[in-house]
Structure 1
């Protein structure tokens, strides 16, 4: 029997029911991504308790103004996720922020990040969005990943991010028209 295609390995759900178990699994993923060096708002080392307050605030608007997109494995486990954030302005209702993009470290290198971003394109179109905006931390190479998926750098703020004293990074703004 043939191995399932990459696209068949994940199922994407917009705004899944945020049960306690799913919330814990998302927070565990966030913790593991951070501790593996991912640029998702924290500096390692972190514990789930460090991330929980930010996660709870992030998830509170999901299903209303923001939308959580989760990629699940065939076993129903979280492999990757992101948030499509509302801009907070009716003048910008035609685009969304892409926030907290992460692929669990045990699933990295399989193309799941690209699948997640393509699923985000589809979900955003379904919400009526015409463009997606995101920021990345300079010096990580993630801007190249997003560029390969159709994002264009539109600006940067030098030294806007300071993971540790003496390690100042640019914040890079990128846009993708849908």
Structure 2
């Protein structure tokens, strides 16, 4: 199957820096959570999944399956229920991180529900920059605790430990990215007061 062409999020703007540009997404932000953004997210999410990325889908996932989930994510960003930061190169989406702040008695917490970087952009520090940005936004929001989960067997825990995350639990064999390939789901938590000031320096 031919891979869809990258989706543009708009024309380059005066002042755009060369390379990766990070932007908030949603109401009052540089990028709108609109249909063009949604298509771009589908393309990114599908590319990361097809490359074996641990982003909630098996490698064989179809664009239609990804699109069904993205529709709700885009709507939640537009309504302010999710906080998102996008990484773009020449206005092309190459990375995304999404945080769901808690409400009610867990309003001091947040859940990072996804972090993804285009396969062609990985290894260049984009994931680190996205994590730094979303942690800064969590602090700005007044959150005290943030958690996330990762798939065992891919070494992702060491990436998140760089930011101060520690493991608090596992669900053995909970994830099945492929038939016969069961993985633990590992839960990590960050106390924002304990987060290092410059994780990028630890690369």
Partner of 2:143: 129
- Number of residue pairs matched by the alignment: 171
Partner of 2:180: 166
Inter-partner Cα distance in structure 2 for 1:112 and 1:48: 24
Inter-partner Cα distance in structure 1 for 2:168 and 2:49: 26
Instruction: Give TM-score scaled by structure 1 length.
Output: 0.89
- The alignment's C-alpha RMSD in Å is 1.8
Partner of 2:110: 96
Partner of 1:20: 35
Partner of 1:60: 75
What stretches of structure 2 of length at least 5 have no aligned partner?
Answer: 1-16, 193-203
Change (3 A) 1:102 1:7: farther
Residue aligned with 1:17, SS: coil
Given that residues 30 and 51 in structure 1 are in contact (C-alpha distance below 8 angstroms), is that contact kept between their aligned partners in structure 2? yes
Instruction: Give TM-score scaled by structure 2 length.
Output: 0.78
What stretches of structure 1 of length at least 5 have no aligned partner?
Answer: 1-5
Inter-partner Cα distance in structure 2 for 1:94 and 1:146: 20
How far off its partner does 1:86 sit?
3.0
Aligned match for 1:70, one of 70, 80, 86:
86
C-alpha distance after superposition, 1:24-68 (max 9, x if no partner) = 111100000000100111101233212001111222211422112
Partner of 2:99: 84
How far off its partner does 1:7 sit?
10
